Structure 1
Amino acid sequence: MRDGFEEAYEQAPRPKLSYPFEHGPETGQAIDIAPGVKWLRMPLGGSLAFINVWAIEEEGGWAIVDTGMGGPDTQQAWRKAFAESLGNRPVTRVFVTHMHPDHIGMAGWLTRKFQCRLWITRLEFLMCRSLAADTGREAPADALNFYRAAGWDEEALENYRAKFGGFGRGLHALPDSFRRLNDGDQIEIGGRTWQVVVGSGHSPEHACLWCPELKLFISGDQVLPKISSNVSVFPTEPDGDPLTEWLTTLEAIKGRVPDDVLVLPAHNAPFHGLHARIDHLIGGHERGLTRLRALLVEPKRAVDAFPVLFRRKIDEWVLGMATGESLAHLNCLLARGEAVKETDSAGVVWYRAAA
């Protein structure tokens, strides 16, 4: 569920982004980004190493944006941050950009510890609760048929069965209530107005926060400077078209948020160059769609698309993300009328370019 690949498969030169901070904060430490806004990092396992979180000073304490993965390591990091960087002042409210565990994982711990409210969009909250409810459940037949249709062999399906239901393990128990964020909301945080800018594709209703006065844009996973957020089709909505949603909302963000903001992403470092980065992300997916159309001169399964979409070897650890993203590209081509599909007698789906 997390952001996956460095750049999925790129041939065009990267845009020249600028990074005003030479180094990021150490665990427990904070860097001042703007008046009343601090940058902190929470530890993650794997290649990403950490997630950026943000503290905005307001009357009575700190509004926190994103929380880190649930677990004792993140708890310890937060305790250190409160003691060393946040003056042991309380959390007034917790904003979460979206429902992935590295973003919402500690929301329950923080809101209970400080008796404050979670602020999140409705779809992200409800989807998170739905996925958390799968913890300990056996993999459903629908999901197994979904991945079998994509071309998975029995070994891959057995690995999926063994790992299914792990989403909730990255979460402290979720709060039982929330304050809803809506696209376009104007919210006062720390005496300044922040606008909610919602995107989708990586997650259902991802909330970014934009402060025109400070020229800051907290982008979460919607715009990252060095990696491409995973955009996937999942068994719960096999006919979904998240890539079209992703491309459409990136264009919308470019039209709403000016280029002179400092982008505060969930991963990597704060950067200038929002519009160039959005153009690069859109262009990369369009080039992937072009390569995929060329591949479909002969019928192919979803797993056969990996070589034209990803540079890296697809092993068992990223097979789910890679399959989901391949299906996102294939469903986008279907929606554009540029591909057709048919299912064989074994339940495997084959795609080919439309005549």
Structure 2
Amino acid sequence: MKNYYGVFSVDIPLPFRLNQVNCFIGRGNEGWAIIDTGLNRKVTMDIWKTTFNDLNMNITDIESIFLTHMHIDHYGLAGELQRKSGATVYMSEIDIQLEADFWTEERDVQLKQFYRDNGIEEAKIARMFETEGQLQTWVNPRPKLSTFEDGDFYKIGDLTYQAIHTPGHSDGHFSLYNREEKILFSGDHVLPKITPNISVFPNSSSNPLKEYLESLDQIKELDVNFVIPSHGEPFEDLRGRVEEIKGHHDVRLQQIYESLSTGCFATEVCQKVFGNHLSSYDYPFAFGEILAHLNYLVEIGEIEKEGHRYYRKSTVK
């Protein structure tokens, strides 16, 4: 296990194209503290059990579990770990509310209508919801959640970290920062090789890309020498990576703008940008990201929206 000032990295495999999440464990104030958990699968629990043995600790020694955000690869095992350990599980208040709504029948009805309104055909919607049924098995039991706030401080390993709200990838995403050693646990906010998905869904921010770009500008002003992400290897040049990510979104915005030669549904733009070969698991993320970029372009006045169709401002309709 890699050791970052008393915080040990735990590599958890995922059954997705993005096939690993980096989780972490270190001593807290009284017991042990975990950052993110992986999915509730046997392989995940087996890895955690091996980790506990290697650290000469018991599962009941876990004092707290910090969840950077509500996506299932980060919190799926939290409820089971809490059930076995009694640990307090922390997540942002924003994501706690989103998570509470996520697995309800009302949300399913709303999401299906959201997809229909935006031009997705019924057969594709049905396939996407078949995939969601499998996902739900990887998050049960769901944890009882407590809140942490922007600016809170927590001891994990040898250092104390400040919680920093970094929205975009999720509305309530948080990163953890130590000023003295200039270390940032970035979660999914800044990744070394890929760009985090920025998507629009019902009941979430309508302009997450704006929030994400603003948050990137905020985070790059921190004095950081070492970034530890949730996917990929640690890296050093935070400001350089932020500029690369912003450049990626500039290119994507231009690509989407140029695709609007006529009025388009978001699903038509998605096909132009990503093609026709996305899986039922990947499609919602691609579609949500297209919506995020379209909504950003609407807000800055580059395009117009009428109903669920998007147009270039200069287009004669």
Shared fold by TM > 0.5?
A: yes
Q: For residue 171 of structure 1, what is the aligned residue in structure 2?
A: 139
Q: For residue 245 of structure 1, what is the aligned residue in structure 2?
A: 211
Q: For residue 3 of structure 1, what is the aligned residue in structure 2?
A: none
The one-letter code sitting in structure 1 at the alignment partner of 2:149 is: N
The one-letter code sitting in structure 1 at the alignment partner of 2:161 is: W
Q: CA deviation at 1:285?
A: 0.7
The one-letter code sitting in structure 1 at the alignment partner of 2:312 is: A
State which of 271, 276, 283 in structure 2 corresponds to 1:319: 283
Q: For residue 304 of structure 1, what is the aligned residue in structure 2?
A: 268
Q: CA deviation at 1:58?
A: 3.6
> 1:328, 1:131 → 2: CA distance?
19
> 1:175, 1:128 → 2: CA distance?
10
**Per the alignment, in what secondary structure is the counterpart of residue 210 of structure 1?**
strand
Q: Give the 5 Å matches for 1:270-309.
A: 270-306=234-270, 309=273
> 2:272, 2:160 → 1: CA distance?
44
**Per the alignment, in what secondary structure is the counterpart of residue 109 of structure 1?**
helix
Q: CA deviation at 1:329?
A: 0.6
* 1:153 and 2:126 correspond: no
Q: For residue 153 of structure 2, what is the aligned residue in structure 1?
A: 186
* 1:235 and 2:202 correspond: yes
Q: CA deviation at 1:309?
A: 4.2
> 1:164, 1:45 → 2: CA distance?
14
Q: Give the 5 Å matches for 1:129-144.
A: 129-134=100-105, 139-140=108-109, 142-144=110-112
> 1:187, 1:138 → 2: CA distance?
34
Q: After superposition, give the CA deviation of every residue in 1:19-39 in whole Å (9 maximum; x if it has no partner).
A: xxxxxxxxxxx2222x31211
2:96 and 2:145 in contact (8 A); partners too: no
Does the C-alpha gap of structure 1 residues 104 and 312 become closer, same or farther in structure 2, counting only changes over 3 Å?
same
The one-letter code sitting in structure 2 at the alignment partner of 1:285 is: H
> 1:112, 1:154 → 2: CA distance?
39
The one-letter code sitting in structure 1 at the alignment partner of 2:223 is: P
> 1:138, 1:276 → 2: CA distance?
39
**Per the alignment, in what secondary structure is the counterpart of residue 193 of structure 2?**
coil
State which of 43, 47, 50 in structure 2 corresponds to 1:73: 43
Q: After superposition, give the CA deviation of every residue in 1:195-222 in whole Å (9 maximum; x if it has no partner).
A: 1111112111111101122322111111
2:92 and 2:174 in contact (8 A); partners too: yes
Q: For residue 50 of structure 1, what is the aligned residue in structure 2?
A: 20
Higher helix share: 2
Does the C-alpha gap of structure 1 residues 312 and 80 become closer, same or farther in structure 2, counting only changes over 3 Å?
farther
Q: CA deviation at 1:333?
A: 0.8
Q: After superposition, give the CA deviation of every residue in 1:243-286 in whole Å (9 maximum; x if it has no partner).
A: 1111111111112x2242x1111111111111111111111111
> 1:209, 1:79 → 2: CA distance?
25
Q: After superposition, give the CA deviation of every residue in 1:124-164 in whole Å (9 maximum; x if it has no partner).
A: 12221221334xx7941x43332223222232123234445
TM-score in terms of structure 1 length: 0.81
TM-score in terms of structure 2 length: 0.90
State which of 204, 210, 216 in structure 1 corresponds to 2:183: 216
1:263 and 1:271 in contact (8 A); partners too: yes
2:128 and 2:280 in contact (8 A); partners too: no
1:139 and 1:165 in contact (8 A); partners too: no
- Number of aligned residue pairs: give it: 312
The structure 1 segments of at least 4 consecutive aligned residues displaced by more than 6 Å after TM superposition are none
Q: CA deviation at 1:173?
A: 1.6
Does the C-alpha gap of structure 1 residues 312 and 164 become closer, same or farther in structure 2, counting only changes over 3 Å?
closer
Q: For residue 39 of structure 1, what is the aligned residue in structure 2?
A: 9
* Aligned-residue RMSD, C-alpha: 2.3
Q: For residue 114 of structure 1, what is the aligned residue in structure 2?
A: 85
**Which runs of no fewer than 5 residues in structure 1 stay unpaired?**
1-29, 344-348
1:196 and 1:208 in contact (8 A); partners too: yes
**Which runs of no fewer than 5 residues in structure 2 stay unpaired?**
none
Q: After superposition, give the CA deviation of every residue in 1:18-62 in whole Å (9 maximum; x if it has no partner).
A: xxxxxxxxxxxx2222x3121111121122222101112245442
* 1:104 and 2:63 correspond: no
* 1:334 and 2:298 correspond: yes
2:153 and 2:161 in contact (8 A); partners too: yes
